[in-house]
Amino acid sequence: MEDNSSQTGGFWKRIAKKKRLLIIILGAAVILGAGSGVYVLKASDSPSFCTTCHIMESYYQSWQSSSYLANKHAAGDVTCHDCHESTLAIQAEEGIKFVTGDYKEPLDKRLFSNDFCLNCHSTSGIGSPKGATFEDAKTATNFEQSNPHDSHNGEQDCNTCHSMHQQSTLMCAQCHEFEWAEDLDDGWSTEAEQ
């Protein structure tokens, strides 16, 4: 009778070598995949990266060179990811939507909470101590004739008037006329939104 133990042992050794090879290949794939994910995240730190999707071109242009508030943020060294959180999962989802065409143009206006905006903005502006309140906004904008942040309508959402990538609208001007409104730049409209 022939001893098969040496043949069986050789079989298991071959399987073990294949498993190790498979583990090495899978490990390399994971490392390379993670590396490219890290590369994409790092590359996306640059606002120009956003223009790789053509639907983002107008948003980038408003950030780079416009009279809109996005450009004022750019002048204060605020980049896209300072307001728009970006994780690999979010970027993957956005990429899939772009490739499949599952998006609308223009994109829905993103509405940030007052707390989000006031986390950077206080009486001193961008870069001032974090955690300002709406009362700080009132103090920062007390014009001689009136204060748009001290409205008879009470505390308003910042995005009622302020828009980043399109013209902002002075909502008070729908009913009131203020001399200081004439001094606003082209980034502001005193006409009601359609």
Tokens of 65: 């060179």
State the pTM of this model.
0.70
Answer whether residue 39 shows pLDDT above 80: no
- pLDDT (mean) for 101-117: 89
Instruction: Give tens-digit pLDDT for 113-171.
Output: 998 988 887 655 544 455 678 888 788 777 778 888 888 888 899 999 999 999 999 99
Tokens of 164: 């980043």
Dihedral sign from CA coordinates of 12, 18, 20, 22: negative
Position with higher pLDDT, 162 vs 97? 162
- For 53-179, strand residue ranges (E) read 168-169
The residue whose two tokens read 């006031």 is: 118
Which residue ranges form the domains of the chain, and what is each CATH number?
15-100 (no CATH), 114-189 (1.10.1130.10)
Nearest Cα neighbor of 56 from 37, 42, 67, 70 is 70
- pLDDT (mean) for 186-192: 85
Answer whether residue 180 shows pLDDT above 80: yes
Percent of the chain at pLDDT > 70 equals: 71
pLDDT band (50, 70, 90) for residue 32 = low
